With several copies, the nearest count.
Chain A
């Protein structure tokens, strides 16, 4: 699999083969994605919109074609449900600001969970603060799994919205999205699913999940930086005010007010990240060709293998549950700060993440300031994990 990813054919500046264990932060790019972007800029670049010349019409057609591709990738009902954003964070802020914010009155509450990334936590916290509402943070069970009883109690109290991750970027916990959405809908609470850590790893089906909004970033599923997707049900997207105003989203501009184009265009003000979107199209096609079932199976096998290897080391503490988890493992090595560990492993060409992983509420819950984290993509192998384990052992020796 690594042969599709040119970065792995090189060595690191220290002359080591690259062992990349940080796909949860961002994935490496396959040749076909890079080539698609290069080809676009080299051979038929233009902005989208109403250019009735080649290459503008070609670019617009491709852009809309990727929208269609995303719709079918997510099993959305219609292309109109797909809005391109600059990333997951941007998409969540749009929903918080333009969909949820206007519905809030003082005393209302919005629900999120203890395992959210800052990007799916702060936007809700800040709108609640502004509107004098309560941000309810649904708790976890001891094993890091969402406490659905407590969640239900909160939903029953009349929450206005639920924002929930599909997979924790720290614990790897994979939430049972279908069940949780159905629970929320019993109480008429719309749900946004943060699929940033799901999109590259298993099949998303917005109709089966029945979520109201779903968001992800291109750079975490083998695609370009600076592009993300906001899926929303037609009625909700239509009801939602634009978050940004500008070129391309307007119908008629009058002095005092203006009218806007139908969805999805009203939510895409300004010149879009055309190259980014086209690169995302190539990435999704690549993923689908590999088959998400195969990717899932491969990564699950790796995760189980890694969990076993790490569990066998007395000096390692693993966080979270062993069951139902995506390819993300957080841990700590006794007496070695994650940052020292990361620097140490880097000298062997091994890339791991250290820190709070933009999940401070979860760190507080785990009662640690930082963890080390490894995460896998389709290009990882058992050899990578063996190298990691060997690296951990020498780090343990070195820092004693």
Chain B
């Protein structure tokens, strides 16, 4: 098996893609966010309960490739319990990590190994939209709100 593909799907991604900790839905969500990629049909619905700017609960369900699933799971973990303001930094870090044009190396950006697991997306720019699908949708929904 070649090294590039191993790097892309390193254990954390395959592991997180199968992680069902946050799958499900919330009936009392304050925000319901649709993340949809028209080019491949991948689709997630994110349910958030935000109180006083803090994400108290998050569940998601949907359909997608391992990268989009894993990145949604990691998003859930990264934001849960955080204030939206604090999360801004994590969000930008993640975007930089997957950005193939970024100047900084992934390791210079963050030391969170779950975020860093997506660094190989830099080598696969056509998969970047998978990594950022839910992240982009979340930002868009919370900004327009």
A and B touch in their complex, CB below 8 angstroms: yes
- Which A positions have Cβ atoms within 8 angstroms of B? 14, 49-52, 56-57, 60-61, 250-252, 261, 337-340, 343-344, 347-348, 354-356, 360, 363, 369-370, 394, 398-399
- A337 nearest CB across to chain B (Å): 4
B24 adjacent to chain A (CB < 8 Å) = no
CB pair B9–A57 under 8 Å, yes or no, is no
Task: Output the residue of B9, B40, B63 with the most chain A CB within 10 A.
Answer: B40
Q: Which of A261, A347, A360, A369 is the one whose CB lies under 8 Å from B2?
A: A347
The answer to whether B125 touches A398, judged by C-beta atoms less than 8 angstroms apart, is no
**7 interchain pairs, CB-CB under 8 A:** A51-B126, A60-B126, A261-B38, A339-B40, A339-B127, A343-B124, A399-B9
Interface SS, A side = mixed
- The answer to whether B40 touches A356 (Cβ under 8 A) is yes
B65 at the interface (CB under 8 A from A): yes
List of B residues within 8 angstroms of A344 by Cβ:
5
Please give me the residue from chain A that is nearest to B66 by CB atom. A340
Of A261, A339, A356, A394, the contact of B65 (CB 8 Å cutoff): A339
Q: Which residues of B contact A52 (CB under 8 A)?
A: 124, 126-127
Q: Is residue B42 contacting chain A, with contact meaning CB distance below 8 A?
A: yes
CA distance A344 to B41 in the complex (A): 19
Q: Is B117's beta carbon under 8 Å from chain A? A: no
Q: Which residues of A contact B42 (CB under 8 A)?
A: 339, 369-370
Q: Could you give, for residues 66-109 of chain B, a 1 whenever the CB lies within 8 Å of some chain A CB and a 0 otherwise?
A: 11000000000000000000000000000000000000000000
Q: Nearest chain B CB to A355's CB is how many angstroms away?
A: 4
Q: Which residues of B contact A398 (CB under 8 A)?
A: 1, 5, 9
B64 / chain A contacts, CB cutoff of 8 Å: 337
Using a Cβ cutoff of 8 Å, how many contacts connect chains A and B? Answer: 67
Cβ–Cβ contact A340 & B65, under 8 A: yes
CB-CB under 8 A from A355, the residues of chain B are: 39-41
Contact A337 B66 (CB under 8 A): yes
Judge whether B14 is part of the interface by a CB distance below 8 angstroms: yes
Q: How far is the CA of A394 from the CA of B6 in the complex (A)?
A: 13
- Within 122-136 of B, Cβ neighbours of A (below 8 Å) are at 124-127, 130
Among A51, A57, A363, the residue within 8 A (CB) of B41 is A363
Instruction: List, in ascending order, chain A residues with CB within 8 A of B36's CB.
Output: 251-252
- Asked whether, in the complex, the Cβ of B14 is within 8 Å of the Cβ of A347, the reply is no
The 6 closest A-B pairs by CB, nearest first: A337-B65, A50-B39, A339-B65, A57-B126, A355-B40, A369-B41
Task: Identify which of B1, B2, B43, B130 contacts A339 (C-beta below 8 A).
Answer: B130
